[in-house]
Amino acid sequence: MTRPARHPSPLPGSLAEVDPEVLATIHGEERRLRETIQLIPSENYPSQAVMEATGSVFTTKYAEGYPKRRYYQGCQWVDAVEELARKRACAVFGAEHANVQPHSGSTANMGAYLTSLTIGDTVMGMDLIAGGHLTHGSPVNFSAKLYRFVNYGVDPSTELIDYDNVRKVAHASRPKMIVVGATAYPRIFDWGIFREIADEVGALLLADIAHISGLIAGGAHPSPVPVADFCTTSTHKALRGPRGGMILCKSEWAERIDKAIMPGIQGGPLEHVIAAKAVMLHEAAQPAFHDYAHAIVSNAKVLAQSLLDEGLTLVTGGTDNHLMIIRLGDSGPTGKEVARAMERAGLVANANTVPGETRGAFQTSGVRVGTPAATTFGFGPDEFRTIGKLIAGIVRDPSNADVVKATAGAVRELCHAVEARREATHAHR
């Protein structure tokens, strides 16, 4: 199929002609993404194909409803693209039903809660300090305002999920739903035990796989899809799609999930983003994505080992997935101070709480780093070993301007070398 000769907008003018100020910010961001190392574990570089679909004409269309059941006419192509996304989501994850309309992981969670819970119901979620998410019962979030959340946490000595504690809290609180998933847990979730505990107390099981859905799609983390009632995810993390969300569920919940998202929460779906989700799911089904998911994990293990070799402490002692949390200690530089110094050095990560945190969610005693984006950029084990050494230099002395300057130079060189290698590889294809 050939591209249309003209961009189908009737309004003339490129971005450069219409709004050079906005274009300058885009160019600035492009430079930042090429010259610094992205270590925030929830970010990624989507493919050109995903970006093209996100910027496509589907942004024009109102399509409230679902394929073949729309409130608007003119929906034959949005129907086709949403059906592709839905079917591909089911195929990639082995799910019975997929709703690809949620605008984010948070609205996906809200959809699953509204589908199956009554206001005031008891829900169990992972302690936020130990790595849970805002929508898993943070007091400032709708989840805790609408439902009574009780927490399970990690064992204070191993920092691993304490399954005995999960069972104890479940039996004591008899929740209607158990939510499993985290933004800062560096180990594998045992879905089987969670299902067992949920069955013992008659609870539904929601697996929030936002951080690990890319690993699951690529076979680098066990899948909860066979055992969970609902799986929710954002689509822009390791899955490498556009910013958005998605729900996978058993067929018995399909109709109620669809109604909860539209009209329950959202109006018109973002069909341009849904088109990009379809592209993302096509990419996730390719053998190369399997290799990518496994490379994320093996690179994370190399980075973790490098940090440990430098004498740093990691929560749980390491990682089995795409991320790790550097524990800084209760005194000395905070996570925020270290993350800021790292940013000045071109190492972009985020401050994060650690189990038993004493300094609050903004300052924190930890820094979270991950490998999905840098692996996409082309960094391999050798570079991750070096990155570990560079991070350690900053952690040891975040206020040392000479160290920061030298690190920034090393980071730029590393980025240029990896970009040159990537381009040479593409040129030979």
- Of 105 and 333, CB closest to ligand DSN: 105
Q: Does 183 bind ligand DSN (CB under 6 A)?
A: yes
Size of interface with ligand DSN, in residues (CB under 6 A) = 5
CB of 350 to ligand DSN, least distance (A): 7
CB of 42 to ligand DSN, least distance (A): 3
- Of 185 and 194, CB closest to ligand DSN: 185
Is the distance from CB of 220 to CB of 227 less than 8 angstroms? no
Q: Which of 239, 229, 249, 322 lies closest to 278 in space, CA to CA?
A: 239
CB of 265 to ligand DSN, least distance (A): 17
List the beta bridge partners of residue 232.
208, 247
Q: Which of residues 236-275 bind ligand DSN (CB under 6 A)?
A: none
Q: How far apart are the first and last CA of the chain?
A: 22
Which two structure tokens, joined as six digits, stand for 238? Answer: 């390791």
Residue 69: strand, helix, or coil: strand
Type of residue found at 351:
A
CB of 133 to ligand DSN, least distance (A): 6
- Of 176 and 211, CB closest to ligand DSN: 211
CB of 134 to ligand DSN, least distance (A): 7
Is the distance from CB of 240 to CB of 48 less than 8 angstroms? no
Q: Which of 422, 303, 409 lies closest to 346 in space, CA to CA?
A: 409
- Of 322 and 327, CB closest to ligand DSN: 322
- Of 210 and 257, CB closest to ligand DSN: 210
- Of 210 and 274, CB closest to ligand DSN: 210
CB of 413 to ligand DSN, least distance (A): 28
Site string for ligand DSN, 40-69 (x = CB under 6 A): --x---------------------------
CB of 43 to ligand DSN, least distance (A): 8
Q: Which of 164, 196, 176 lies closest to 125 in space, CA to CA?
A: 176
Q: Which of residues 186-245 bind ligand DSN (CB under 6 A)?
A: 210
List all residues 6 or more positions away from 394 whose beta carbon is below 8 Å from its beta carbon.
Answer: 338, 341, 342, 345, 347, 403, 404, 407
- Of 63 and 108, CB closest to ligand DSN: 108
Is the distance from CB of 141 to CB of 149 less than 8 angstroms? no
CB of 183 to ligand DSN, least distance (A): 4
Q: Within 10 A of 158 (CB to CB), how many other CB atoms are there?
A: 12
Q: Which whole-number Å values give the CA distances from 362 to 2, 137, 159, 184, 209, in the listed order? A: 50, 18, 21, 15, 24
Q: Which of 220, 219, 191 lies closest to 206 in space, CA to CA?
A: 191
- Of 210 and 390, CB closest to ligand DSN: 210
Q: Which of residues 107-136 bind ligand DSN (CB under 6 A)?
A: 133
Residues forming the site for ligand DSN (CB under 6 A): 42, 105, 133, 183, 210
